[in-house]
Structure 1
Amino acid sequence: MSLLAGSRVRPVSAETRNFTVRHGGVSAATMLTVYLVLLVAIPSNVTISALGSLGRPSMLWGLVLLFWWLLSRLQARDLDARPVRQPLRWVFMAFLVVVLVSFAAAMLRGQPADQVSPATTALLRLASWSGVLLVAMDGIRTYSDAAALVRRLAIAGAALAAFGLAQFFSGQTLLDWTTSIPGLAFEATEAATRGSFTRASGTAIHPLEYGTAVVSALPLAITAAVNKGFRTTPSRNAGWWWLAVGFILLASLVAVSRSAIIGLAVAVITLLPAIPTAYRWVIGVGGAVLAGAVFALIPGMFGTIVKLFVGASDDPSTQSRTAALARVPEFLSSSPLIGQGFGTFLPRYYIFDDAWVLLTVELGVLGALCLGGMVSAAIGSAVWASGHSPFQDTKSMSRAFASCLITIAVLFAFFDGLSFPMSAGLLFLMIGLTASMRSIAAADEVLTASMRYTARPELPDVATELPPARRASAGEA
């Protein structure tokens, strides 16, 4: 029996909604949850001493996920079911081919000794991200698993936001304790500041990475709050999800980061059309009240944020990004299609504060198009799932994952997101989860069709066969 269900096997019906597919006692949702904990809870600066740069726990677990997925491919059996097509799979394969061709070409050209190791490490990082993406895409095939991951991602984002708030108000990183753990190496850094305020970084390496992780969790937290945690039975604790939303909003406002504010706007704008009108007012009014409270209670915060945008043209980081665009043709001239080689373009040549530009330099036009195609294919799968599933909760999750992915993709234009473990890991995790909604929606279609044509003849509508928590969803669909 395979470890996780794959594309050659019909997805388990989403409407055994509390049922989780388990093979060998472990589900894909559990494996991805372990990855999420390692990615967010353990500081990104922490590595296993004996392994050096390869010793980040989240990276090692990603390689475990890749092996787990490969083993499942070897064990998968063909069943009499039409497979669910995943356009993402083909674009992802093209991306891997471009990376390998670019790496081979770079090695054949010859590289300085200090560039070979970073390039090899970059391939291993990509292998780790691939494991995360593939397990998410092929392993998350039921509503219950998807809902569990929505909740866990929202909780992770809220916890990271709360820790960042503690750093902001204390003015300290609060991570010094990690230096005393035997066998681990920790690159201690001072808390960054902007103006008179401390820039929180949470467990991330940089405040920009922290802001991306926190803001990208906002659509999931809002969706969990609107849908009361996606529980099939009413819960008295449903209101706690709004507290998670509040933590994320507050952390985004006091992050003293232009990109965090932009990401906040992108997340809200892309999600609002997908939630009921009443909740749009709750988020709009509640966000305005929270922003007003922040500006009133923290002297100088309003002026600092205004200066971030009013004086953006004179900001060194903005000038650096603008100047970087003019240098791209120079670095691409020798190999415009496949670039300089993944992981070979070191900061000593030039520092690009833009993940998309740096990827274009390293992998050429083809590499950038493939990664953009992966994001587009995943978002397209979410749109497909939203249009084909008759259940409102599946639609909500699909739109929330798509909003998260759009937010991360936009924020990658403001820093080199693929060079940071947390932001890169979240990108590939969100790509995989967004694509997985296509399989879940396909199962929903099979479910409703089978119930409509095999139910008792006297039942006029499939909704009467659904559990009470699902009838409302089917009626809205």
Structure 2
Amino acid sequence: MSEPAQGPIPVSAVEHIAITRKIPWDAARLVMVYLVLLFAVPSYVSISSLGTLGRPHFLWGLGMFAFWAISRLQWRTVDVASTSQPVRFAFVVFLVIALVSFADAMLRGQPADQISQLITSLLRVLSWAGVLLVIVDGVRTMRDVSRIVRFLAIGAALLALLALLQSFTGRSLLDFWGSIPGLNVGEGGIAERSGRTRTAATAMHPLEFGTVLNAALPLCVAGALTQGFGRGQARSTAAWWWAASALLAVVALMSVSRSSIIGLAVAVVLIVPAIPRRTRLLVVSGGLGVIVAMVALMPGLVGTTLSLFTSSDGSTMSRTGALDRLPEFVAASPLVGIGFGTFLPRYYVFDNGWAGLAIELGMLGVIAFAAMVVAAVWSAWQARSNSVWPDVRLTAHALGASVITAAVVLAFFDGLAFPMSAGFLFVVIGLCAAIRSVALVEKRGMGVAITPHAFEDSMAEDRASRREARSSQPRPAAP
């Protein structure tokens, strides 16, 4: 009796790349391409023929959602150890509420311009879903988490450097995008407030840019304390990471924005406890030295900054008055809202992302989004508790601090309406879930790599075992 034919050899979790093993793209590479498009291409640049749907990072996010969906259809054909993810559950609830709100808004009837806003906003949610779900289900090792976090921090530092050049030259330095055929360049770039230049690098607005800088600051500090999120690197690398951290803080202080200063304070308060005691005093002293140097080199900065908190300008009055009118707008549809993206500036400007969610997705949408933020912070701090590796614990703490900072700043401007701040937030939320998986697998002793060297050894062992299995199979006779 002949033996049954041997089936295909299962692909291990650390090597599975979803659609086909012939594609040299894993989840980390997909996310890093998304970050390049998010940071390097100005948020106000889009493909002319696609209108508001033509932003490159937006299209790549939709492609990642398709990639994730096809991968899930093939999930049972591979050997992948799954873990429960509160972040995924909370986001799926958020997505379902967005779909219900969309259907409810369409059934009520909408003006022609709001129908396009509804469709565009729903596609934006799907693009965020692609980024978040690819990270949650595809990033499975500390090596990949470190690669993405390092990429995030370096990207934010380069944006801060560009903003510093914009501040000194008074020019956006990005005018060349308008000369590229097929691209549409909208409003964005540098602005002015209280006689000082407000830079935005490649973001649409200085507030959006400040949110990214503040949320990235804990990641840069973690990079300095871990010598670049890796073991065995030269200690001289830490000096570059401290310089990047100082650059982020300086540019945030130069933004002439209450939101950026509050966000910077939140980020500093959250990350300082994670700094070892022997280093903490030195870091705080260095930070104070940077502030003193800024005051000396930029006369009038202190007075301008203090006036933001002591004067009752139009921006402050608008924010306080808007909260008084919030119940009036929420009453139109208190549970699922009037439809994501349909509360246009012609109705009112809240400058508050949480208030905007309450109007567009109702109280259920606010609860779901808040649950996603809480789940991300809980996941990061669970990873910090479960892991025995100092770099894993520190990176998890920094990711949780980054999410909290972004969530706090969201109360001062409509961050989900701006591409860079929203994309950055969903990437960091996904990383919180991913590092929880890494630490949980480490705690359970399931054999998934934790260190870069262990990852490479595991990959080599998997490839060797598959080669041995293939070589032992009989080859079919030639016709």
Give secondary structure in 1 for the equivalent of 2:340. Answer: coil
2:198 is equivalent to residue 204 of structure 1:
no
> 2:337·2:359 contact (CA, 8 Å) conserved in 1?
yes
**Per-residue deviation at 1:80?**
7.3
Paired AA for residue 348 in structure 1: R
Alignment of 1:111-260 (within 5 A): 111-189=110-188, 191-235=190-234, 236-260=236-260
State the partner residue of 1:45.
44
- 8 Å CA contact 1:391, 1:444 repeated in 2: no
Relative distance call for 1:432 and 1:358 in structure 2 (3 A) is same
- Length-normalised TM-score, structure 2: 0.87
The 3-state SS of whatever aligns with 2:46 is strand
Equivalent residue in structure 2 for 1:353, among 351, 354, 358: 351
Q: What is the identity, as a one-letter code, of the residue corresponding to 2:239?
A: G
Tell me by how many angstroms 1:378 deviates. Answer: 0.8
SS at 1:229 equivalent = coil
Could you give the per-residue CA deviations for residues 346-366 of structure 1, whole angstroms, max 9, x where no partner exists? 111111100000110001000
> Unaligned 5+ residue runs, structure 2?
1-10, 456-479
Inter-partner Cα distance in structure 2 for 1:279 and 1:252: 23
Which SS does the other structure have where 1:335 is aligned? coil
1:69 is the counterpart of 2:59: no
Question: Could you say what secondary structure the match of 2:228 adopts?
Answer: helix
Change over 3 Å in CA distance of 1:68–1:190 after alignment to 2: closer
Equivalent residue for 1:436, pick from 419, 434, 454: 434
What does 1:244-283 correspond to in 2, within 5 Å? 244-283=244-283
Deviation at 1:21, TM superposition (A): 6.1
Q: 1:273 to 1:11 in 2, by over 3 A?
A: farther
Give the Cα–Cα distance (whole angstroms) in 2 for the partners of residues 148 and 347 of structure 1: 39
Which stretch of the first structure deviates more once superposed, 48-57 or 167-176? 167-176
Residue 203 of structure 1 deviates from its aligned partner by 0.5
Contact 1:10 1:83 in 2 (8 A): no
Aligned to 2:377: 379
Task: Please report how far the alpha carbon of residue 147 of structure 1 lies from its aligned counterpart in structure 2 after TM superposition.
Answer: 0.9
In structure 1, the partner of 2:403 is 405
* Displacement of 1:83: 3.0
Q: Distance in 2 between matches of 1:450 and 1:404?
A: 29
Note if 1:333 corresponds to 2:331.
yes
Alignment CA distance shift 1:466-1:121 (3 Å): closer
Alignment equivalent of 1:396, drawn from 390, 394, 404: 394
Would the alpha carbon gap of residues 10 and 397 (structure 1) be closer, same or farther in structure 2, given more than 3 Å must change?
Answer: farther
CA distance in 1, matches of 2:16, 2:404: 29
Give SS of 1:47's match: strand
Whole-angstrom CA distance in 2 between matches of 1:394 and 1:406: 19
Counterpart of 2:30? 31
Q: Distance in 1 between matches of 2:16 and 2:286?
A: 39
Measure how far apart 1:90 and its partner are. Answer: 1.6
2:441–2:447 Cα contact (<8 Å) kept: no
Distance 1:450 1:95, change over 3 A: closer
What is the CA–CA distance in structure 2 between the aligned matches of 1:132 and 1:81, rounded to whole Å?
20
Q: Return the alpha-carbon distance in structure 2 between the equivalents of residues 442 and 190 of structure 1.
A: 43
The root-mean-square deviation of aligned C-alpha atoms, in Å, is 2.2
Alignment partner of 2:368 out of 370, 375, 380:
370
Establish whether residue 294 from structure 1 lines up as the match of residue 294 from structure 2.
yes
Could you tell me how far apart the structure 2 residues matched to 1:301 and 1:82 are? 54
How far does the alpha carbon of each residue in 1:95-130 deviate from its partner, in whole angstroms, 9 at most, with x for none? 111111111111111111111001100001111011
Cα distance, 1:243 vs. partner? Answer: 1.6
- Distance in 1 separating the partners of 2:354 and 2:189: 28
Query: Secondary structure at the residue paired with 2:237?
Result: coil
Q: Distance in 2 between matches of 1:450 and 1:355?
A: 41
Cα contact 1:11–1:439 (8 A) shared by 2:
no
Larger radius of gyration: 2
The Cα offsets for residues 157-193 of structure 1, whole Å up to 9 and x where unpaired, read as 1001111111111122222121101110102556311
Residues 1:77 and 1:290: Cα distance change in structure 2 (over 3 Å): same
Runs of 4+ displaced beyond 4 Å: 9-12, 20-23, 78-82
Q: Distance in 1 between matches of 2:383 and 2:197?
A: 42
In the superposition, the TM-score normalised over structure 1's length comes to 0.88
Cα shift at 1:81:
7.3
- Rounded to whole Å, the distance in 2 between the matches of 1:41 and 1:387 is 35
State the 1:82 CA deviation.
5.9
Counterpart-to-counterpart distance in 2, 1:165 and 1:450: 45
Q: How many residues get paired?
A: 438
Could you say if the C-alpha distance between residues 120 and 386 of structure 1 is closer, same or farther in structure 2, counting changes exceeding 3 Å? Answer: same
Task: State whether residues 189 and 205 of structure 2, in contact with CA within 8 Å, keep that contact through their aligned partners in structure 1.
Answer: no
C-alpha spacing 1:242/1:347, structure 2 compared with 1 (3 Å): same
Q: CA deviation at 1:282?
A: 2.7
Aligned partners of 1:405, 1:238: CA distance in 2, in Å? 24
Give 3-state SS (helix, strand or coil) of 2:184's partner: strand
Which of 320, 323, 348 in structure 2 is aligned with 1:322?
320
2-side partners of 1:101 and 1:21: how far apart?
34
Gaps of 5+ in 1: 1-8, 13-19, 452-462, 468-477
CA distance in 2: counterparts of 1:431 and 1:38, whole angstroms = 19
Matched residues, percent identical?
Answer: 49
CA drift of 1:252 comes to 1.2
Deviation, structure 1 residue 419: 0.7
Structure 2 letter corresponding to 1:209: E
Instruction: Go from structure 1 to structure 2 and tell me whether the alpha carbon gap of 1:129 and 1:189 turns closer, same or farther (over 3 Å shift).
Output: closer
1:234 Cα offset (Å): 2.8
**Deviations for 1:9-29, whole angstroms, at most 9, x for unmatched residues?**
9864xxxxxxx7654321111
Q: Give the Cα separation in 2 of the matches to 1:388 and 1:317.
A: 44
- Structure 1 residues 63 and 450: CA distance shift in structure 2, 3 A: closer
Does structure 1 retain, via aligned residues, the 8 Å contact 2:139–2:145?
yes
CA separation of 1:446 and 1:79: change in aligned 2, threshold 3 A:
farther
Counterpart contact for 1:226–1:279, Cα < 8 Å: no
Amino acid at match of 1:319: M
Per-residue CA deviations over 1:213-237 (Å, capped at 9, x if unaligned) read: 1111110100000110122213243
Distance 1:32 1:277, change over 3 A: same
Question: What letter is aligned with 2:284?
Answer: G
Matched residue SS, 1:270: helix
